[in-house]
Structure 1
Amino acid sequence: MSTWSNINLQDSASPIMEQLIYFHDHAMMIIMMILIIVTYMMMLISFNKNINRFMLEGQFIETTWTITPAIILVFIAIPSLRLLYLMDEINSPTLTLKTIGHQWYWSYEYSDFSTMEMDSYMIPQNEITYNMFRLLDVDNRAVLPMNTFIRMIVTSEDVLHSWTIPSLAVKADATPGRLNQISFLFNRPGVFYGQCSEICGANHSFMPIVIESVNPKYFME
C-alpha cells in the first residue's frame, strides 16, 4: 500500500509492475538530465552575449539540438516498446476471473468453477475494526493464487467503472455491454488494494477493490 508523504510508486506485486518501476526510474533520470542541461544553457544565454550569439546563430548548435532529442527518444522508446510487448495478453491463462461493476460495488465470478460467485461491498465506517483500512476494506475479498497466469474479464451492469490495482499495474474500464480483458501474475502473497478509477456516480469513492494472493495449494483447498 501507499503511505503518507511517499512520492514513489507502490511496491510491485507482479513482474510487469516491477519492469514499469524500472522504466519510470530510467525515464526520470533522462528527464532530470535534460532539465539540468536546458536550465544551464538558458542561464548561459541570459548572462553571456558571446554565447548568446553562438546559440542563436550557429549552424553547429542547430544541428546538435535537432539530432540530440532524436537520440534521447530512441533510448526512451526501446524499453517502452519492450514493455508493451511484455504487457500483451496471455495466450493460455490458468485461471479466469470475471468482475462486474455495479453502483457501487463489485461482483466476482470464478468462471472455472460454475458455482462460485460473490458480491464485494465496502465495509461501513461504523463496522471497521482496528486492523482494517477505512474506505478500502471489503466484506468479500477476491482470492487468487500466486505464481499463476490469471485472466481477468471486466464488464459493468450500469455505468462506466474502472477496475484498478496499482501494485499489479492493471487498469481496465468496465463498460456496459462489453467485455474487456487483462492479464496478470502475482509474484508474492499478500493483500492488495485498489479503487474504481472512473467517476461513476455519487458513491464512486466507496467501491474499493481488494485482492488476496495466496499459495496455489491453499487456494485449491
Structure 2
Amino acid sequence: MASPDPAGIVLVPGLLHLPGYLDAAAQARLAAELATALRAAPPYTPRMPRTDQPFSVRMSNCGPLGWVSDRAGYRYQARHPVTDTPWPDIPPTARAAWDALSGYGAPPEACLVNLYEADARMGLHQDRDEDALDAPVLSLSLGATALFRYGGLRRSDPTRSVRLRAGDALVIGGPARLIHHGIDRLVPEAPDLLQGTAPGPVPDFLMPGERCNLTLRRVTRPPDA
C-alpha cells in the first residue's frame, strides 16, 4: 500500500518529495503491472531532435498518449513509434498514486517509462510539451537510487540534488512546474543506508543496479478547464 501520510518534504515551493510513498508490496505490484505493459509496448531507444543522437535511457509509455522524441522533435502521440500499436493502459497502482497526490481534477493521459542502466543519466530539462501546464507531473521510482538534480525556471539558476530511492514519489507542480531538472547518475547504496520504506524486489525487467522511473502527466486541458 502507499504511505498513509502524504505530507512529504517540500524541496522548493511546488516540488514535493515523498520518500517511501510506495511500500515494498506496492512496488512489487507496480512492477508486475508494468512488466505486463512493457510486453505490449517494448522499450526502445529514442533519439534527439536534429542531431539524431540516441538517448542514454530506453523508454516506453502507457496511457492514451505517449511522449516520443526523434529527429522530427518532441511530441505526444497515440501509438508506439516502432510497433505502431496503441500504448497500454496506465498501471492501476500508478493511476492510484496520481489520484492521491496530484490534486488535479482530471486523469493523467501519459505515463512515460524511463529505464536507466547503471551509467545512464538525463540532462537538465523542462517538462513543457503539455498544454495542461496547470497539472503537476508525478514521478514514481523503482529499482536503484538516482541522484535527482533540480534548479529554477532558467537553466542557469543554481541547482540542488536529492536522492530518489525505490518507492519514492515526487510531485512537480505549481510554481515548480517548469523548473529544470534531471538525473545526474545512479547511486549504489548498501541496504543499511537506505532511508524510508524498504525497497521492493528488483523488477523482472531490470538488472540489479538499474532503475525505472514512471512520469505521469496530463497533456491536454480538460474540457471544463
What is the TM-score with the length of structure 1 in the denominator? Answer: 0.29
Q: Which has the larger radius of gyration?
A: 1
Q: Which has the higher strand share?
A: 2
Q: Which has the higher helix share?
A: 1
Greater RCO between the two (CA within 8 Å, min separation 6)?
A: 2
What is the TM-score with the length of structure 2 in the denominator? Answer: 0.28
